[in-house]
Structures are given as structure tokens and as C-alpha cells.
Amino acid sequence: MELRRAIELDPLDPTPYLYLATIFTDQYRAGEGILALQKAIDLNDNRLTTRSRFLLDQDRALKNISLAWSLAFMGLHEWAKAIGDWAVWNDPTNSSAYLFRASESVHLRQVGADTLGDVKRAHLLQPVNANTFITYTDYQELLEQPSFRGSSLVDIGTDETVKTRAFLQGGQGKMAVFVDANYFTTDGPKTETGNRGENTLIRIKYAVSRQHQFLFEGLAGHRNEEDLSILQNGYASPNHHVVHGDYWQGQIGYHWRQAPGNDLLLSLQIDGLDTNGLDESSDTIILSGFGPTSLITRSSLDFYRKGIRGEAIQFLRVNNHRLSIGGALEDLFVSEFFNHSRKFGILMVNALNSSNIKNHMREFRAYIRDIWKISQNLIIDSGISVCNMDGVWQASDGSSLERKEILPHIGISKKIGIKDTVRTAYFQEIQPHYLSGTLQPIEVAGFSRVSGVTPGTWSWFYGLGWDRIWSKKLFSRMEIFKLYRRYPNQFMPWAFSNLSWKDEQDTSFRLTLESLLNKRTSVSISFGVTKLKPKTDYERLDYDVGARLTWVHPKGWRIQGAVWYVDQKEQRHTNSAVGDNFTILSISLEKSLFDKKALFFTRLENITDQQYRYLLTEPTDATQLPWQRKLFELGVQWNF
């Protein structure tokens, strides 16, 4: 009632609309929250006479990220991403924008090096308070929250799938704490496709003063996986394949807030991975004089990785220029021991071969980036990076590859009128190790610079995008881009063929249409086509189309249905690497209970072709493959 009265007293003040939108979203009225936030953004610059341009840019970034969160809650993810990017460009030191972009990648199963980079920046930039690690605002929440709060989650599903999670977060005075423990186990959709793992994360942020803050982070876990490659090729026969290992990571970070818009971030990260894999298959053969005899083929691989990475980035605001100056040093050691043997019957053993490969990779990188905000409607993003990678990949003869490159980038984002935005970008990049969570620039004009491909891959990118807000309830995004890649070694996109190459050219077109149908319902439709053409006689054309419908009710209901169709059959090649087409149908439901003290959720997913071949575009696609049968999950989250 007071907010309505404030709007009547000063209809040009954006603040009541911002608070009103926060309340709407908290009450499962995200559709109304979107309209209120759009009004707040329209009115943002009315306070130019009472607030500086820098503070108005901060206000705009805060409103944009709140709007983006409401859009994402309604299932309008591309619209949300577009607004989230503008929040970063308006204020590159806004932690909320980075955290939002990372959460969107997790939600859409598009986790990559850019996701981890956004997370690292967000955690270093976030101020110390009770909400440090869990909200999308750089300030205390509008609604009062306890100093410490926690949550526990239990999720059970088909194929003996069980997920559990418990976390505690909060803060008092100069310290904020976040503790997260996870456990996951499943038998998998097919024989020999089980998976189990557990990990614990502890994150502490301590403020020596308002200007100087430290971040301490530790992660440790264990994983045990069977033959997950069968999820990529449903026609393959399962083997006795087991990979198990331990991983850990530690980080110390420092944030010096020198002045509004001027921040220094330092990070020192150490991580390790120690795994052992066993692959065993058996057949019956006929040996002269012995008759039927079993043949067991066994391969084992011991893999050890240890790395240390130090990074620094200085944000500077000079008039309308948002400068980022930084660099990185990484030292990575990898050791692989491989043994291959065959066993005939119970007496005859024949060791075929073994190898021990050790690789030492070093990376040095320095860069400067300038986001020049010429006006509210025109931003030019330019910069240059110098990269030197030594020992990127080591062959069996001991030779190694070195990359020394100067990498320019330029991006332009131009708003034409109040409805259209045109984006264009060109850049070159040497891909960092995707587990590092780099602080370096990870996107240009909304196009991602880093991905999950092999570290040391040299890429060239040309992209053009057109975003249009047809009305306050309708948004479209169209992108076309060409990407050239030069891998450090032969890339094998399909695990069951001898197909591989070092040079590749991808041409992609994507179109998305999203609409807020009414205050409770939204729809998102997307279409994409990618032509992959390496320097071989192989050529591939992939299509995908998807639709998502979301319905939200003020009583705490959120229901979402989706369909996704993929076609990978249109190819020209000389080998048997043929993909399939398949359709995935899914529906999810969540219900807030007991005044948001609990959340009930369930999900049903069905793939129409439960036996298919899925061809990878990037190696990390193998970690996000569809489930090869019906999947049903049921869970509850309790907040305390």
C-alpha cells in the first residue's frame, strides 16, 4: 500500500517499482514483477540531477539483473541472458550479473569455462553480509532474513537414482560462510552405466575493512563412473569399464575496492585430480588344439593432474571507459600410465604394450580490455591479449606443441530506437583449461570466447546478432556466426570411429522467440542449425528445435513442459560416424509449501528413441548427454 502511495506522489521515481517487483517475484507473481521492473528501467535516468552517472549505471545494472532473474523464472532464458549481458557492460564490477549468468548456464546444462569464470568473479566481488553467496543483489535483501540459514534436499528417481544435498549459508559482522555437501548415485539407464560421487565445498569470505576482503575456498570429492560412453552410442555393447578417482581444489582470493568502479581482484588456485580407469571385455575364441577358450582384453589407465594458477585483474573506470587490465600464470602437470594386455583361458597371459606419458604445460597471459560506453545505446568492446602456452600437448615421441599468439577482439552493441539491438563481434582466442575458472574476459558482445574444447585450441570467431523487443511481452534473438578451430592434437568427435582432425570450421544459425503470454504464462521457441566442416572429406549438418511452456501461480505452483528435437543424420563422409535423430519430452512441477519453508518438485523426461548415436560438437558435451530411457524424479527441499 505504501509503495502504491509513493508512486502516486512521484510517478517518475523508479524506486517504488523496483521494490514492488521484488515483492511480486517473491510471491510467485514474476509476470507482474517483469512489468514493474521494465517500468523502473524506463524511469532510471529521471534522477540524473540527484545521482551521478556512475550511480545511475549501478542502479540500471541492479534493475537489469532483477528483471533478468524474473524472466528466467518464467522460462524466458534468452531474453534474460540479453539483459544480464547489458548489466555486465553497464557495470563490470557488479557481482550479481556474473552470478546470474552462471546460474543460467547451470539451468540450461551449458556449463563451461565461461560459467566457472563468472562464478569466480562473482564470489570475489560480492560484499560480505548475510546474503553474500546466495542472492542477486550487491546489497542486503529488501526482506529481512536470518543471519544464518540452511537447506537440505533429497531427490529420488528411476534406475535407483538418489541425490542428496545439504548446505548452510550466512554471515555476521565481517565474515560470510557457505558450506555445501552433495551425494549422487545411479545405476544408469543401461547396463554398466552407473555413476556415483560425493563432494564437499567450504567457502569463507572475510572483510578486513570495507575496502579489503579475502576469499578462502576448498573443494574435495570422489567419483566412480562406469561406461558412460554408451549414453553417446546406444548401439554399443557395454564393457566392464570403471573409472574412479579423487579431486580437490583450493583457492585464496583478494578484493581491493579502491573506489566506485575501480576494483583489484587477485586469485591463487591449486587443484588436483587422481583417477584410475579399467576397461575389460571378454569373447570366446577357438584355439587349435584347445577348443573354445575365453579371451579377455584389459586396458588400464592411471591419470594424475596437478595445477596451480595465479591471476590478477584491475578494473578501472575512466569517464565512459570500463577498463580491465590483467594477466595469468598457470603451471600444469599431467601424468598418464597406460597398460594393455590379453589373457587366453586361465594360463596364457600376453602383455601387449604399456606407456608412461608425462606432460608439463605452462601458460602466461596478459590482456587489456576497454568497454567504451559511448552512450546509453552504443557500447564498443575492444582489447588485445598476449598468450604463450608451452607444452600444450605432448606426443609419444616426447615432442610438444607451443602456442605464442597475439589475440585481438572487437565487439559492438548498438541499440536502435527502443526495440532493436544489433551485436557484432570478432575475436581470436587460445582456449584456457576449462576447469580453471579464469578471470580473463570470457565474452564479446554476448558471444562466448571460451568453451569446453581442449586447452590450447586456437580459435577465430565472427558473429552477428539481432535482438528485438517487439513489445513489453515479446522478444526475439537471431544469431549467425562462423567459428574456426585449430586443435593442438587430433580431435575425435565420436568415440567409436577413427574419425579425427586438427582444423575445423563451424557455421551456425540460431533463432529464438520468447513471449510473456500473460501474467502467469510464457512460451519460448528456438531453432538452430550448425554446419561442421573440418579439413577432411567429412561434413555434418545438425538441426535442433525446441519449445518450452511455463506456468506460474501465486499460490506457489510452477509447471514447465518442454520438447526438444535433434537431427544429426544429414552428413557426407567416408566412414560410419552416422548420428541419429531423436525427440525428448519433459515436464516438471514445483510447489512452494509452508510459507516457502519447503519446496516439492518432480520431473518426467522421455526420449522417443532410447537407442541412438549422439555426435559431439565439443568434448565436454559428453558430460551433458541425454538420458537413454524414461527418467522420473521426485524430491523435496526443506529450508531452515
CA 205, CA 414: separation in Å to the nearest integer? 38
- Mean pLDDT in residue range 352-376: 81
* Neighbouring residues of 61: CB distance < 8 A, sequence distance ≥ 6: 87, 88, 90, 91, 94, 96, 97
- Mean pLDDT in residue range 196-221: 92
Each residue of 292-333: pLDDT tens digit?
444 455 555 677 788 899 999 999 999 899 999 999 998 888
Each residue of 442-479: pLDDT tens digit?
889 989 887 766 778 889 999 999 999 898 889 999 99
pLDDT surpassing 80 at residue 178: yes
What is the predicted pLDDT for the residue at 50?
38
Q: Map out the domains of the chain as residue ranges.
A: 1-95, 111-259
What is the predicted pLDDT for the residue at 624?
63
Q: What is the DSSP letter of 31?
A: H
CA end-to-end span of the chain: 30
What is the predicted pLDDT for the residue at 384?
96
Mean pLDDT of the chain: 78
Query: Of the given ranges (45-49, 433-437, 492-496), which has the lowest mean pLDDT?
Result: 45-49
Cα distances from 275 to residues 62, 305, 619, in angstroms, run: 43, 9, 18
pTM (2 d.p.): 0.83
CA 348, CA 296: separation in Å to the nearest integer? 11
- Mean pLDDT in residue range 351-379: 81
Each residue of 484-541: pLDDT tens digit?
988 877 665 554 455 667 888 999 999 999 998 988 899 999 999 998 888 777 778 8
Each residue of 281-293: pLDDT tens digit?
554 444 444 444 4
Give the cell for residue 97.
550479473
Q: Is 243 helix (H, G, I), strand (E, B) or coil?
A: strand
What is the predicted pLDDT for the residue at 352?
47
Using pLDDT thresholds of 50, 70 and 90, give the confidence band for residue 556: confident
What is the predicted pLDDT for the residue at 190?
78
Each residue of 270-280: pLDDT tens digit?
988 887 766 55
What is the predicted pLDDT for the residue at 311?
94
Query: Of the given ranges (138-142, 335-339, 381-385, 407-411), which has the lowest mean pLDDT?
Result: 138-142
- Mean pLDDT in residue range 33-59: 53
Backbone dihedral angles phi then psi of residue 237, each to the nearest 5 degrees: -80, 135
What is the predicted pLDDT for the residue at 436?
61
CATH superfamily of 1-95: Tetratricopeptide repeat domain (1.25.40.10)
pLDDT surpassing 70 at residue 425: yes
What is the predicted pLDDT for the residue at 132?
57
- Mean pLDDT in residue range 366-382: 93
Q: Label residue 209 exposed, middle or buried (CB < 10 Å: 0-12, 13-18, 19+).
A: exposed
Residue of higher predicted confidence among 381 and 556: 381
What is the predicted pLDDT for the residue at 546?
93
DSSP for 536-569, please give it.
SS-EEEEEEEEEEEEEEETTTEEEEEEEEEEEEE
